[in-house]
Structure 1
Amino acid sequence: MGRALKHTALVVEDDELQRELVSLIFEESEMNVIQCESAEAAAVVLEKAGRDLTVMFTDVELAGKMSGVELAELAKRRFPDIDVIITSGQGVDRIPENTLFMPKPWLPLELLRQAERSRTRH
């Protein structure tokens, strides 16, 4: 029996509770979720599975040297069709073109809406 192909979200957040919450929201939207706590780990996932990703959600501040903004730039450069959501509790100087910024604290319903939008777009 074949399983329907699921959309996949990459969640990059160094705060474990936040990462779990975001992952749960994407799972509610019937997506598979890959979790990373650093941009470096997420870059490896992008290399291996970038074409299979529907959406990437990343915090600006992450474990490791690379920021979420730099990760978003990398993702959009390699995979222009991926939906990228950047979040932060502080303001951000710049975000890459064709990405969405969601300031913290965001409401779970807002993120669920964005997940649904990404799913229907792909």
Structure 2
Amino acid sequence: MTHGKMLRQVALVVEDDAIQRDMIALLLDEGHFDVIQCEDAETAALAIKRRHPSLVITDIKLTGKMTGIELAQFALDCDRGMRVVVISGEPPAGALPDGVKFLEKPVYPLTLLREAAL
């Protein structure tokens, strides 16, 4: 039956490390999300505009001109109801935009799935 696939939420994973990006995407796919993967914030910003994901998970440090925190703010500017989680091996240098969650790497699968399901 294809109805389950049609009702899946869209999640965007932004991570410049391909292995970590694939692992997060696999977890979310098993958690019933359709997953879009991007390695930089500029590509992710286009995906946000075109696909309107309900969840964005982004690393703070990314290749390109935009950081994950700037991407988080962009995502919320596009849709205040979007859930945004930033991940990093270090705490963020400054304050995160209101409503953005922070998870420290390594991210435990159950923690990530719990945040995704909220």
Residues 62-77 of structure 1 correspond to what in structure 2 (within 5 A)? Answer: 62-77=62-77
Unaligned runs of 5+ in 2: none
Deviation, 1:6, is 1.1
Deviation, 1:77, is 1.0
Q: Kindly provide the CA deviation profile for residues 23-56 of structure 1, in whole angstroms up to 9, marking residues without a partner as x.
A: 0110111110000000000011111122xx1100
Report the equivalent of 1:120: none
Q: TM-score, normalised by structure 1?
A: 0.89
Deviation, 1:17, is 0.6
Report the equivalent of 2:113: 112
Which range moves more in the overlay, 64-73 or 2-11? 2-11
Report the equivalent of 1:33: 35
Corresponding residue SS for 2:54: strand
The residue type equivalent to 2:51 in the other structure is A
Distance in 2 between residues matched to 1:63 and 1:47, nearest whole Å: 20
Alignment RMSD: 1.2
Residues 23-62 of structure 1 correspond to what in structure 2 (within 5 A)? Answer: 23-50=25-52, 53-62=53-62
Distance in 2 between residues matched to 1:83 and 1:74, nearest whole Å: 12
Unaligned runs of 5+ in 1: 118-122
Identity %: 40
The residue type equivalent to 1:115 in the other structure is A
Corresponding residue SS for 1:112: helix
Q: Which runs of 4+ in 1 moved over 6 A?
A: none
Instruction: Tell me if 1:8 matches 2:10.
Output: yes
Deviation, 1:2, is 6.0
Report the equivalent of 1:86: 86
Aligned residues: 115
Report the equivalent of 1:18: 20
Distance in 1 between residues matched to 2:105 and 2:81, nearest whole Å: 25
The residue type equivalent to 1:99 in the other structure is V
Q: Which structure would you say has the larger RCO, counting Cα contacts within 8 Å and 6 or more residues apart?
A: 1
Which range moves more in the overlay, 68-77 or 102-111? 102-111
